[in-house]
Amino acid sequence: MSPVVAWPTYKGQWASHLLDVATESGAAVEPDGDRYRLHLDDLAWHTVTFTLNLSPTEPAPAGLVAQQGFALVACRGTNTRIPFRLFPDASNPDRLSGPITLNREVLEDTATLSAEITAQVDGRTRVVARAIPWTIVLRRFDAPAKAGEPPITQVWVDFDSADAPPVARKNNRAHAALDAAPDKPILYLNSGIPGLQMILTAENAKLERRRLRDILGSQIARYTVSTLFRLAAADVVADGDDDPIGPSDPLLRSTCEKVAGAIPHYTSVDELYSALVRTTSRPGIADLWADIDAAIDTLTDASSTASTATSEVQYV
């Protein structure tokens, strides 16, 4: 690691774990430790409590004294930033922990739980490490299913082989290709790309492998949703002045509903259908598809995943 500060720091991120997550009703919630997400989108809750535990993944650099931590819950949707203190664990002074309580009314869409570790260095308080951040999911469309889960079948195939389907052979360097012709669409993933299958299927990936898995997964998810939405948009029809009718296919209709739900100024999917068939000016079409692209990006967490990855490695 190239030094970027004039005091000793940890080279890697600290591990972070959420323990004893529960709502005010006492219902337990299981955090997604593989993807570092806390899903609260399926719950009717007003208050959630949990303990954040941080632990180093390497020996402490020489010269650090009296480590302590600070956690921050930041929510862009409500412009809220809530700090919490973390303290050394009584049974293990190298580990930091602290209780966190969140109220539903101060959060919206998604929130990020990050943490920094500080220590006394030559009599001054310095930031010496950061922990792996968590995403707190508050609405369903902010936590899309991984690409390939039902109702889409996932199949690994070498795109350069003679047995590959035509849609896959169109670009043998692509990570994925969606065949939407069957009753149940098939997402083909390119096993011909060295290491792709190993990275995407790694359940306990750490550090760079985890970051690469998350970025590739979100890119494939964005491609899949974009393809489905283009198919759905082609099926939206209007007869004269009648209200437009959306696609009859349940998957395509659901895709439109998710995209409409992620566009702030739409209150229903019908407004999206109307915009697709009524917008005719070039600036209007460009603005509409900019909204659609932004919604798909939100649904698949693509930009957020990339931003998290770059923020994690900026000091490496």
**What does the pLDDT look like over 103-140, one tens digit per residue?**
988 888 788 899 999 888 887 888 888 899 998 988 65
Total structural domains within the chain: 3
Same domain, 84 and 199: no
Domain that holds residue 114: 15-143
User: Region 58-66: what's the mean pLDDT?
Assistant: 77
Q: Is residue 240 part of a domain?
A: yes
Pick the more confident residue, 273 or 11: 273
Q: How far apart are CA 255 and CA 295, in angstroms?
A: 11
What is the spatial distance between Cα 52 and Cα 21, in angstroms, rounded to a whole number? 10
Task: Clarify whether residues 249 and 192 are in a common domain.
Answer: no
Find the mean pLDDT for residues 170-186: 86
| 176 against 302, higher pLDDT | 176
pLDDT for the residue 13 = 87
Looking at the domain assignment, is residue 193 inside a domain? yes
Residues 74, 20 share a domain: yes
Tell me which amino acid residue 60 is.
Answer: A
Residue 204 has pLDDT above 90, yes or no: no
Q: Are residue 126 and residue 33 in the same domain, yes or no?
A: yes
> What is the percent of the chain with per-residue pLDDT over 90, rounded to a whole number?
39
Residue 30: alpha-carbon gap to chain centroid: 17
Tell which of 95, 122, 143 closes a domain. 143
Mark which of 123, 143, 163 sits at the end of a domain: 143
Instruction: Establish if 222 belongs to a structural domain.
Output: no
- Domain's final residue, options 183, 214, 245: 214
Q: Are 45 and 139 in a shared domain?
A: yes
**Beta strands 186-190; 176-179: pairing state:** antiparallel
User: Are 26 and 101 found together in one domain?
Assistant: yes
> How many Cβ atoms are within 10 Å of 175's Cβ, its own excluded?
18
Same-domain status, 134 and 44: yes
Please indicate, yes or no, whether residues 91 and 197 belong to a single structural domain of this protein. Answer: no
Segment 264-310, tens digit of pLDDT: 888 889 999 999 999 999 999 999 999 999 999 988 888 888 887 77
As a whole number, the mean pLDDT across the chain is: 85
Q: How far apart are CA 309 and CA 210, in angstroms?
A: 9
Does residue 87 surpass a pLDDT of 70? yes
* Mean of pLDDT values over 232-243: 84
pLDDT at 314 exceeding the cut of 80: no
Asked whether residue 7 is domain-assigned, the answer is no
Residue 174 lies in a domain: yes
Q: Given the structure tokens 């529960």, which residue do they identify? A: 22
**How would residue 242 be classed by pLDDT, with cut points 50, 70 and 90?**
confident
Of residues 309, 134, 282, 113, the one with CA closest to residue 211: 309
Reported confidence tier of residue 5, pLDDT bands at 50, 70, 90: low
Q: Which pLDDT value is given to residue 225?
A: 93
Model pLDDT, residue 149: 45
Let me know if residue 305 belongs to a domain: no
